Amino acid sequence: MVWQLAQVLWVGGLWLMHLGLMPVLAQIGLAPLLVEEIGNTLEVLLVIFSAVCVFVQALVLARTEGVESIWRDLRGQLLLMALVGCALYLAGHSWLTEALRWQSFFYWLAGFSGLILVLQPIPGESIRARFARP
């Protein structure tokens, strides 16, 4: 249950930010600079929160499937990719403030890693059990 909650919070948050919140803020008529400032502030906070949730998911995976699953399992590799994406986004935000394309790339790297992770089975559960009829 912790796996699913953390996954919903960080993957849903990353995608909702750009597919839901930012377009709505632009549509309601706020000043473009205000929308950009809100987006930048929330994006950084969301990436930090996502990194924490990814770390929690990695702990759940290591406890359920074993520590070696972080390196060998697709779920672990996706979690590592998302964590690297979050870390490099935050590094770019702190030290290379002009490199907006790289920040955007690392944001989407974490987002797409999470999207693929959603399609994977929950640790301790097989893929057949996930899609079996009750």
In this predicted model, what pLDDT tens digit does every residue of 84-121 receive, in sequence order? 999 999 998 888 777 778 888 898 899 999 999 999 98
Q: Which of 2-11, 24-33, 121-130 has the weakest average pLDDT?
A: 121-130
Q: Tens digits of per-residue pLDDT, 55-87? A: 999 999 999 888 888 888 899 999 999 999 999
What does the alpha-carbon distance between residue 113 and residue 100 come to, in Å, rounded to a whole number? 20
Q: Give residues with Cβ within 8 angstroms of 78, minimum separation 6.
A: 113, 114, 116, 117, 120
What does the alpha-carbon distance between residue 54 and residue 6 come to, in Å, rounded to a whole number? 7
